[in-house]
Amino acid sequence: MNKHVILPGAAIGIIGGGQLGQMLAMSAKEMGYRVNVLDPNEHCPASCLADTFIHCAYDNVCGLTQLANCSDILTYEFENVSAEALKMIDSPNYLPQGTALLEMTQNRVNEKRFLQKLNLLIADFQVVTTVEELDEAVKKIGYPCVLKTATGGYDGKGQVVIKSIDDLAIAATLLKQSCVLEEWLTFDQEISVIVAGNIQGDYVTLPCGENIHQQNILHQTIVPARVSDDICEKASQLALKIAQELQLTGVLAIEMFVVGQQVYVNELAPRPHNSGHYSIEACDFSQFDLHIKGVCGLPLSKPHLLSPVVMTNILGQHLNESLQKMMAYPTWHFHYYGKEQSQIGRKMGHVTILTDDVEKTLAILDETNIWDKKGDN
Ligand SMILES: Nc1ncnc2c1ncn2[C@@H]1O[C@H](COP(=O)(O)OP(=O)(O)O)[C@@H](O)[C@H]1O
Ligand SMILES: [Mg+2]
């Protein structure tokens, strides 16, 4: 057996025990792996699933080494794991995903240069670090545009939309670090594709999802995406191209904008993604199954969509309403992550609805009034 094939019975160490780590752990356990988890919060969602739980910061080399020593391989649930700390782990244990992809996706500038090298369509951008550079870049790109920090952004954090000269001062407050100024695209839809790979070079994509954001946080994913077959095909092909170029192991999520017949790449995430949660019930292999199989060197087959589906996030402001209304919807799959503290805008769970009529399901979701609170009121 190839030494990179890790069979059930072995232990997988997951860096990060949030909901993504939790759902990864559930897939791994179903397949018969042992699971070890490292997280700074001892009550994190994945802690109760861990055979061994290591309570420390993500970049604590000692803790990471401890995790590696009790695991056959390591993986991570999110991209802000320190690549430097990972490189310092003094353990033979195999990090199938490597650190290069982490380093690339941790920085929007590197990510955009990689996408440019592959000749993929991306929003026009300029790298800026000073107010003068910002002024110059705005002249080139024009209004509206969006300034994003090169590192550390998520759910719209670390970015400012610049509609006119009046927004420049607030945008300039981001310039404590390198930023990218991006052209604002008037898109028809946002879509995403999750692609999985393994060391043997199998690459497969999950069905393309249509994503609806509210306040920059994913609200809903609808599959099949309400775009043409041609757009879905373009999106899957570009995902496969990226995966092959990276010799991807595990899953990578690719967020995209659809503008007319064109597909722009927005950003990459080298991990399971919120827009892939639908696949737990709606596909024969979920994104979490594919990630575990991918990093363990097991063969991958193209996942099939079993039913059209709508996934809707349950944020802090939706939690109580959703729990109260749960009894009324026996066919809905409610997932709660067991986070101790609920906050506005915090992802507390999600609901997945298999349906043969997406529009009707969207109308029913609307009528529940669970999602009336947008987070700004
Ligand atoms: N260049 C752009 N044109 C239009 N909308 C954008 C652009 N960049 C970001 N957005 C909107 O903001 C959301 C969050 O931006 P994104 O770059 O994906 O950052 P994050 O890391 O916060 O997810 C996107 O999903 C999209 O709705
Ligand atoms: Mg995004």
Structure confidence at residue 348 (pLDDT): 98
Looking at the structure of the chain, the number of domains it has is 3
Alpha carbon distance 192, 330 (integer Å): 29
Overall average pLDDT of the 345-361 stretch: 98
Where is average pLDDT lowest: 91-95, 257-261, 292-296, 336-340? Answer: 91-95
Alpha carbon distance 133, 213 (integer Å): 30
Same domain? For 195 and 177 the reply is no
Percentage of the chain with pLDDT > 90?
A: 94
| Contact between 39 and 21 (Cβ < 8 Å) | yes
Confidence of residue 93 (pLDDT cuts 50, 70, 90): confident
User: Would you give the distance in Å from CA 346 to the centre of its chain?
Assistant: 15
Statement: residue 301 has pLDDT above 50 = yes
Two tokens, residue 38:
């490292």
Cα of 266 from ligand 2 centre, angstroms:
7
Structure confidence at residue 352 (pLDDT): 98
User: CA nearest 288: which of 8, 54, 94, 23?
Assistant: 23
Alpha carbon distance 210, 220 (integer Å): 8
Cα of 157 from ligand 2 centre, angstroms:
10
Same domain? For 215 and 301 the reply is yes
Q: For residue 267, which phi and psi values (nearest 5 degrees)? A: -155, 165
**Nearest ligand to residue 158 Cα:** 1
**Nearest ligand to residue 152 Cα:** 1
Same domain? For 285 and 165 the reply is no
Alpha carbon distance 141, 181 (integer Å): 8
Q: Looking up tokens 């249509």, which residue turns up?
A: 210
Q: For residue 67, which phi and psi values (nearest 5 degrees)? A: -65, -45
Tell the residue nearest (CA) to atom 25 of ligand 1: 216
Overall average pLDDT of the 20-43 stretch: 98
Same domain? For 91 and 141 the reply is no
Same domain? For 176 and 231 the reply is no
Where is average pLDDT lowest: 107-111, 151-155, 251-255, 336-340? Answer: 151-155
Count the Cβ atoms, other than its own, within 10 Å of residue 87: 11
Q: Is 222 helix (H, G, I), strand (E, B) or coil?
A: strand
Same domain? For 347 and 229 the reply is yes
User: For residue range 136-191, what is the model confidence (pLDDT) as tens digits?
Assistant: 999 999 999 999 999 998 888 999 999 999 999 999 999 999 999 999 999 999 99
Average pLDDT, the chain: 96
Q: Which residues contact 130 (CB under 8 A, 6 or more apart)?
A: 175
Structure confidence at residue 264 (pLDDT): 98
Statement: residue 377 has pLDDT above 60 = no
* Full domain range(s) for residue 134: 124-183
| Contact between 167 and 232 (Cβ < 8 Å) | no
Amino acid type, 314: I
Ligand 1: which of 211, 254, 266, 275 to mutate, judged by most atoms within 8 Å of the beta carbon?
Answer: 266
Structure confidence at residue 94 (pLDDT): 84
Longest dimension (CA), the chain: 63
* Assigned domain for 173 exists: yes
Look up the CATH number of the domain holding residue 131.
3.30.1490.20
| Contact between 118 and 245 (Cβ < 8 Å) | yes
| Contact between 273 and 287 (Cβ < 8 Å) | yes
Overall average pLDDT of the 324-328 stretch: 95
Same domain? For 70 and 219 the reply is no
The DSSP 8-state label assigned to residue 20 in this structure reads H
Overall average pLDDT of the 11-23 stretch: 98
List C-alpha distances in Å: 341 to 273, 319, 338, 368, 377: 22, 11, 9, 24, 19
Overall average pLDDT of the 88-105 stretch: 90
- Residues lining ligand 1, judged by CB closer than 6 Å? 123, 146, 153-156, 182-185, 187, 190, 213, 216, 255, 266-267
Alpha carbon distance 49, 31 (integer Å): 14
Domain boundary at 183, 211, 226, which? Answer: 183
Same domain? For 88 and 164 the reply is no
Ligand 1: which of 216, 218, 219 to mutate, judged by most atoms within 8 Å of the beta carbon?
Answer: 216
Same domain? For 236 and 314 the reply is yes
- 188-198 b/e (C-beta count within 10 Å ≥ 16 → b): ebbbbbbbbbb
Same domain? For 88 and 159 the reply is no
Q: Is 85 helix (H, G, I), strand (E, B) or coil?
A: helix
Structure confidence at residue 376 (pLDDT): 62
Look up the CATH number of the domain holding residue 278.
3.30.470.20
Two tokens, residue 17:
């025990």
Phi-psi region of 158 (alpha: psi -120 to 50; beta: other; left: phi over 0): left
Overall average pLDDT of the 305-331 stretch: 97
Confidence of residue 110 (pLDDT cuts 50, 70, 90): very high
Statement: residue 92 has pLDDT above 90 = no
More confident residue, 94 or 67: 67
List C-alpha distances in Å: 228 to 117, 219, 262: 27, 22, 11
Look up the CATH number of the domain holding residue 88.
3.40.50.20
Same domain? For 167 and 209 the reply is no
Structure confidence at residue 1 (pLDDT): 63
Structure confidence at residue 340 (pLDDT): 95
> DSSP per residue over 139-188, as a string?
HHH-SSEEEEESSS--TTTTEEEE-SGGGHHHHHTTTTS-EEEEEPP--S
User: For residue range 44-63, what is the model confidence (pLDDT) as tens digits?
Assistant: 999 999 999 999 999 999 99
Structure confidence at residue 130 (pLDDT): 96
Structure confidence at residue 220 (pLDDT): 98
Cα of 22 from ligand 2 centre, angstroms:
21
